[in-house]
Amino acid sequence: MPSPRIDLYSDTQTRPSKGMREAMANAEVGDEQRGEDPSTNRLCEMTKELLGKEAAVFMPSGTMCNQIAILVQCNPGDDIIADKSAHIINSEGGGPAVFAGAMIRPVDGVRGVFQPDQAEAAIRKARRHAPRSRMIAIEQTANAGGGTVWPLDTIRGVSEVAQKHGLVMHMDGARLLNAAVASGVSARDFAEPFDSLWLDLSKGLGCPVGAVLAGSTDFIEQAWQWKQRMGGAMRQSGVIAAAGVYALEHHVERLAEDHENARFFAESVANLPGIRVETDGIDSNMVFFDVSETGMTAAEVHNRLLEHGVRIGENDRTRMRVVTHMDVTRDQVAEAAAALRTVVMEASRAA
Ligand SMILES: *Cc1c(COP(=O)(O)O)cnc(C)c1O
């Protein structure tokens, strides 16, 4: 099967743009682990400014940011409170158990977002028998929840609960800038209640690799030691950090187009027979829909769409996910919606 012409599987499918590649080719470089790579230093400076934190460190991936933030702040046996759909629960290979030895207490949120009273209910009383509740982790945007933007008020409410009980706050900000652009709330305001947070450069921002973890000077110093231990410290990382600098300068505002395209896709397929779009809100660049009433599984729809050159994610047996991004134009989104219509109509005629 040739690679799909229109790839809505994930915003990780973005390729570095021409401008980004030029910035990478011209990057000033040095030895990152000695603090001598000017481009990486610049990226960290920009990120800590953007997020209003004391310090930041460049990491190979968002997963490493999550795992190191947990390692620094949680001891073996500690509880992390997170929504049941969280990436740290479902998509990081059980990392919190493997590295920090931490437990996760899943919360039954709505579209990936839980409420302050739910957080409070999940915190355990200090007893000999019980794990120690240590961290509340939220995902901005909540990916498997639907690309949901956590409202600032809800974050503040959850953070008051954390403060009252002496827990730390961690944000998996893989798509924090999508949330900022979609809501008009600044990344800095979203970041304020968090002890640790990071943003991903390799999703909608269009970089080939990388993420930046931020927090207090002391937190980042400890994070650096884990990065070194785990072999995440780099050398001339400026070549890839320059892509991040370029993305923060050129690819943030345009995320609004991805959000418009996601809404456009949702509207285009909402009335197709058998397709049920999760329309509680298309907050950002994701559209989830269920295909069970077409009589097909998500895998079947996925494979038939591939014959039209379109790739859409299959999340479970009947749930599918479309993610818009900078390498897919409005016309291509329309084409993808038309392909889904064809596939669904063929299936309903065959039935
Ligand atoms: C992609 C993603 C991650 C992991 O980031 P990588 O850079 O792929 O390691 C973590 N959390 C969420 C919500 C994500 O979407």
At 98-115, the pLDDT tens digits run: 999 999 999 999 999 999
Quote the radius of gyration of the chain (alpha carbons, Å). Answer: 21
- As assigned by CATH, the class of the 6-13+254-350 domain is alpha beta
Tens digits of residue pLDDT in 143-196? 999 999 999 999 999 999 999 999 999 999 999 999 999 999 999 999 999 999
Say whether pLDDT at 303 is over 70.
yes
Residue 199 to residue 185: CA distance in whole angstroms: 16
- What are the tokens at 194? 């968090």
Instruction: Determine if ligand 1 sits within 6 Å of the CB of residue 10.
Output: no
Say whether pLDDT at 77 is over 80.
yes
Instruction: Determine if ligand 1 sits within 6 Å of the CB of residue 200.
Output: yes
* Start-end of CATH 3.90.1150.10 domains in the chain: 6-13+254-350
Q: Tell me if 140 sits within 8 A of 186, measured CB to CB.
A: no
pLDDT of residue 220: 98
Residue-level length of the chain: 351
Tens digits of residue pLDDT in 126-135? 999 999 999 9
- Of all protein residues, the one whose alpha carbon is nearest to atom 6 of ligand 1 is 62
Tens digits of residue pLDDT in 195-210? 999 999 999 999 999 9
Tens digits of residue pLDDT in 211-226? 999 999 999 999 999 9
Percentage of the chain lying above the pLDDT 70 cut: 99
Between the CA of 248 and the centroid of ligand 1 the distance, in Å, is 18
* Start-end of CATH 3.40.640.10 domains in the chain: 18-250
What is the CATH code for 18-250? 3.40.640.10
pLDDT of residue 2: 66
Instruction: Determine if ligand 1 sits within 6 Å of the CB of residue 62.
Output: yes
Question: Omega before 148 cis (within 30°)?
Answer: no
Instruction: Determine if ligand 1 sits within 6 Å of the CB of residue 212.
Output: no
Residue 51 to residue 16: CA distance in whole angstroms: 24
Q: Tell me if 80 sits within 8 A of 135, measured CB to CB.
A: yes
Tens digits of residue pLDDT in 257-300? 999 999 999 999 999 999 999 977 799 999 999 999 999 999 99
Residue 345 to residue 327: CA distance in whole angstroms: 28
**What is the widest separation between alpha-carbon atoms in the chain?**
65
Rounded to two decimals, the pTM is 0.97
Between the CA of 255 and the centroid of ligand 1 the distance, in Å, is 17
